Amino acid sequence: MNIREVDPVTPFEACFASENMEMTAAGPRVPEIELMLQSEMVGWKIQGRNSMVKVNDETLCLGFVDGGSKPRNAVVLGGNQLEDIVLNFDMGTSMLGFSSSLLQRKRSCSEFSPENLLKRRVQ
C-alpha cells in the first residue's frame, strides 16, 4: 500500500504518514479490522474512518491504545470505533444489533433512518 510508518504520537503506538493514503467515503483506505464475536458467522468490520485517528495534517495513527500489562477489560471500544455506527440494544432479548459504517452508504448518525440498515445481532 506504500504507506510509511512514522514515529508514534502518544497515546498511539502505530502511526503512519498520510501522504500516500487514499481517502474514501469510509475514511483512509487501510486494511479492515474484523472482530469475530460469538462465532465466525458474527463479525464486525472496522474500516479506516473508525480505525485511524488523524493526529495532525501529516499523520494518522491506528486508533487503539494498549491497555497495559494488567488491563481491567479485554477490549474497550471508544468513540472513534463507534462513530457513524448504529447500535441497537434489545433489552428484552439481551441482544445487541449493530450496523456497518453508515459512511459506506453516504450517511451519518445525524441523518440516521432505521429503514436503511441491515442489522446484525450478537448475544
pLDDT at 123 > cutoff 60: no
Tell me the whole-structure pTM to 2 decimals.
0.75
pLDDT at 86 over 60: yes
pLDDT band at 120 (very low <50, low <70, confident <90, very high): very low
| Separation of alpha carbons 68 and 96, rounded Å | 28
Average pLDDT of the residues of the chain:
82
Report the distance separating Cα 21 and Cα 27, nearest Å. 10
Total domain count, the chain: 1
| E strand segments, 41-119 | 42-46, 52-56, 59-62, 87-90, 95-98
pLDDT of residue 11: 93
Q: How confident is the model at residue 13 (pLDDT cuts 50, 70, 90)?
A: very high
Per-residue confidence at 112, pLDDT binned at 50, 70, 90?
low
Q: Give the whole-angstrom CA distance, residue 103 versus residue 85.
A: 9
CATH number at residue 23: 2.40.70.10
Domain of residue 95 covers 4-121
